[in-house]
Chain A
């Protein structure tokens, strides 16, 4: 079946502009995660959704970052007034959710964001 889909795959934007990154999770997966991966670094947790609610937003780096999820499916990560340090690969993952703990995360191929 279809995996996690992210769009766009690449985004180049000017400093100060806003960007929206989209994630389509695997159908039936109630849990959705956003991570950030900088060049040569590990995965940095940003935010977790269970259904449409976000019980853990602790990883969002600043108030310029926000995310929403609608219909228990598609999620959008928005970065306002982008800065050069926001340049990274943004990865989305989904899983069956907390009712099935131990269920692994399944990742999309990410959006590579470059802020010039």
Chain B
């Protein structure tokens, strides 16, 4: 069974204090790994897709990396507006379509 585990469950950072969020996965035939940001009362907002081990994507203070077993979301010099829940999801082939399974997320709080 496909499994996606995110850690830590919650993370509190001072503004400017860099850190990383982890997403480890056990799946058969990974097609893609997605990172999303979710603000309270909103749906998840797409950030990145990673396709293969060694790939990296960047957007402002965020950088996502991928290995064969896990992905990291690195946050450099975070600001309070980066506070949100960050979700990762894996896309795998299933019965002729691409099934997308989500982790439970990391709730990030950035303190001014």
Contact = CB atoms under 8 A, between A and B. Distances in A.
A108 B66 CA distance: 27
Interface of B: 31-32, 34, 36, 41-46, 49, 51, 87, 89, 91, 93-105
Contacts of A104: 32, 34, 46, 49
B32 A101 contact: yes
Contacts, number: 65
A78 to B, nearest CB: 20
Nearest to A107: B43
A98 B96 CA distance: 8
Contacts of A109: 41-43
- Chain A facing B: main interface SS: strand
A48 B99 contact: yes
Interface string A4-18: 100000000000000
Contacts of A42: 87, 102-105
Contacts of A31: 97
A106 B46 contact: yes
Interface of A: 4, 31, 33, 35, 41-43, 45, 48, 50, 55-56, 91, 93, 98, 101-102, 104-110
Nearest to B32: A102
Contacts of A50: 97
* Shortest beta-carbon contacts, A-B, top 6: A107-B43, A42-B104, A102-B32, A43-B102, A104-B46, A101-B98
Contact of B94 (A41, A43, A56): A56
B33 to A, nearest CB: 10
Contacts of B43: 4, 91, 93, 107-110
Given A102-B31, A102-B32, A107 B45 contact: yes
Contact of A105 (B31, B42, B100): B100
Nearest to A41: B104
B24 to A, nearest CB: 14
Contacts of B96: 55, 98
Contact of B31 (A35, A43, A91, A101): A101
